[in-house]
Each structure stands twice: as structure tokens, then as C-alpha cells.
Structure 1
Amino acid sequence: MTESSRPSDPAEGGRPLRRDAALNRERILHAAREIFGQQGLGVTLDEVARHAGVGVGTVYRRFPTKEALIRALFAQDLRIRQEAADRALAHPDPWRGLVDFLTEMSADLAENRGLHEVLMLGAHTSGPIDSARGGMLPFLEALIRRAQESGDLRPEVTPADIPVLQHMVYAAAQFTRGQQPDTWRRYLEILLNGLRRRPGDPSLVTPSLSNAMVERAMGITRAEETPPRTTKSVPHES
């Protein structure tokens, strides 16, 4: 996953870790970020330990399950995404702010298979991760609203379009990886040109997906959407 601009919180159970334990935790997170980014989330904790150069027991003491490790990495990635959104919202040019945000996010996803699987495919899901992924929606709504109010972004564009476009850029990155790894930037430029509003452009005919449809495609399941369990009645023996 993406390298954080801040160190992770070296504490467990509210107590600071010893220096050697904190260093081991950072080493594990760094190794996991690299190997998940290269190979995806199918990597085991044993493989993470080998990549980090620490014993398997050390990994399991810091992260008893792979879900706990993924949550720690994703928390860092989400913080980076939120910081990027804040910078974009503060940019004096609404269109430039949106472009910067989409370009930074595209770069992260294009170069990081594990992050793509968590964000876009629901390959590893849990309540906290689903809530965090869904929590980016207000940032997208604000960025899109600003760019539309400034007259730079097509009025038909919705927040639900953005994850689909990001998935398209990731597919381009995978398709060209063995030839020219940065070619995905060309296709992002083409998409951005299509998003920009210009006088005389015909309106988009096909409607966008709803936010709920995109969340289902991304594997996000809201607690209230979980169907209740039904129990079969068992006839009493006479």
C-alpha cells in the first residue's frame, strides 16, 4: 500500500511500544506495503515475515490476523487520501484541485495492487474498512460540486463515476505494465479531457450508476443492508 507521510501510531492497547517493538512494527508495515502492492492481498503473514526479515512470531504478536495488518495499512492510506482531498479542496482553482486529487489517487492505485483490491474490489472487507471506504464519498461530492460550480466540470458527472474511472485507469496500467509502466497517465489525460466542460459539447446520454450500485460493485456492504437470517420452523414430534 502507499507509503505514509507519517509514522504509524506505535502503541497497542493504549500503551507505547518499546523502541525495538515499535521498529519491528514499522518494518512489518513497510514490508507488507511492498509485498501487498506487488502481489496483492493473497500474500500470507508468513510471507510478510520473510519479506520483513523478522520471525513469524514477531508478526503475529504485532498483528494476530492478516485483517489486523490490512486495517493498519489502510488506516495510513485513508489518512493520505483525506489529506490529498483537503489540499484539493483548498486549491484556489477547483478544476486543478480535482485533477491533482484524481492524478494522485490514480498513481497510488496504478502502482499498488493491494490498495486497488481493498479500495475497488472488496477483496478484503470488514466493517471498519467498509465504513472507511464509504467515508471518502463526502470528499468526492465536495470536489465535484466545486468544479461544477466553477463551470469546469461537466454537470452530468457524479461521485459514482469516479471509482469506475479509477478502475479504468488501473486496467490500463496493468495492460501496459510490461511495456511502458507510466502509459496509464495518457489514458487518465484522455478521461480528464472528457470530464471537462466545453461550450457546445453534447450532453452525456447514458446515466451514471447510483452510489449504492458502485458500493455493491466495490464490495461495500452496509450493516442495514444485510438481510436478516431466517430460521426454519421444525415440526414437533407428536
Structure 2
Amino acid sequence: MRILLVEDEPEMAEALQGALHRHGMLVDLAGDIAHATEALQSRVHDLLLLDRQLPDGDGATLVAKARAVHVDLPVIMLTARGTLTDRIQGLDLGADDYLVKPFAIEELLARIRAISRRPAQIALPVASIGNLRYDFGAREVFVDGERLRLQRRQLLLLEALAYRHGRTVQREVLQEAVYGFDDAIQSNALDAHVSKLRRVLTEGGAHVEIHVIRGVGYLLREVANASPR
């Protein structure tokens, strides 16, 4: 799950990002409405966590902008504005949930899980490459019907490759899919993740291969004439 967290308090933002990372989520940070708007337009997110009291205005104004980009994007407001009027206003402005500060991270995680269980209005596709199946809605990988467990970055990398399987995916596209805005990226980090993903797929019996296209990126395709398991 890729989350856009809009929070201007550095300590709060760092604590939330760390907690969400530890639970397998990728978090992009924005400290104001302007940067959040850029983030919404440059990347696809699965959830918007939104503070209302931001340096350049009321964060609630972002809800309409977010839905213009992604009509089904879930929104949870995280704010100290906790009066009944504030909560009603936030929900009326389009938020799916409203959590008043201070809150326990366990409650936030529970609310994220609850929103994730809601059926999407648009069914997400399933990619089948050889005996590998990637379910984009559930973000799960199966080989011959058995679930294959991947680490978070491996899963994000495979998702980006599977969505465009049979086509070359540029390195820049893969890096955007795997890393958050604030992540420090070493020059060979992407290649290391690809190498680990190759090994996991091979050990899992997947009939797919990841080819390097020198100077451009990588390509995922079915292994020709693969032997059955």
C-alpha cells in the first residue's frame, strides 16, 4: 500500500512514517497543500492521510483535488480539530474517516485495514504471466495457485513490472514505484532489489524471467518452454 501523508509537524510526520513503514506500507510525505497537490498528480496512491491545519490552508480542500485524480481514493483526516462540528464538516467534505489527535497508532492501523476491506467501485485487474498471477486489488502473488510471500519492496517492484509485463519498464518508473519521496537511493539499489526478486521467483517455481535492458530498465516475461513443477 502506498500512502500520501500530509502532515506539517516534523515529529508527528516522522513517527507516523516510521510506524507505517514497519507495517509494510510505503509513505510519501508532504508538509503543505502545494506539495501534496504535486504528489497526487505525480504518483498513484492507495490512501490519503490528511491533516487539516496546514501552513497554506485547510487540508480539507485537498479532498476534491485528490478525487479529481483518483475518484476512489480513500481519505482519513488526522487532526486536532475534534469538535462535533469539525468532524461533521470533514466527513461532509468527502473524508471516509476522521481521527482526532492524539491517537494510538494501533487505532490508525485498524482504520486503514477497515478502509482497505471496502470493495472498490472499479475492479482492479489480475496479471497472469506463465504460472504466476499478480492480483492488483489484493496485492498478492500466486505461483501455481499457491501464495508467494515477498518483502515490501520486492512486491512493489513486481507490481510495476507485472502491470507492464512484456514491455520494457524504465528505471525511473521502477524507482518511483519502489521508493518514497524522501528515501535515499543508492546507485545500485534497484539492481540489488531486482536480483533478490529474481532469486525469490526462481526458488518459488515461477515460470517468469526479468531481463535487463541495458541503459533503459527491465522487462518481465514468461519463460518459454518452462518445465512444470
- TM-score for the superposition, normalised by structure 1: 0.26
Bigger helix fraction: 1
Bigger strand fraction: 2
- TM-score for the superposition, normalised by structure 2: 0.27
Instruction: Give 1 or 2 for the bigger CA radius of gyration.
Output: 1
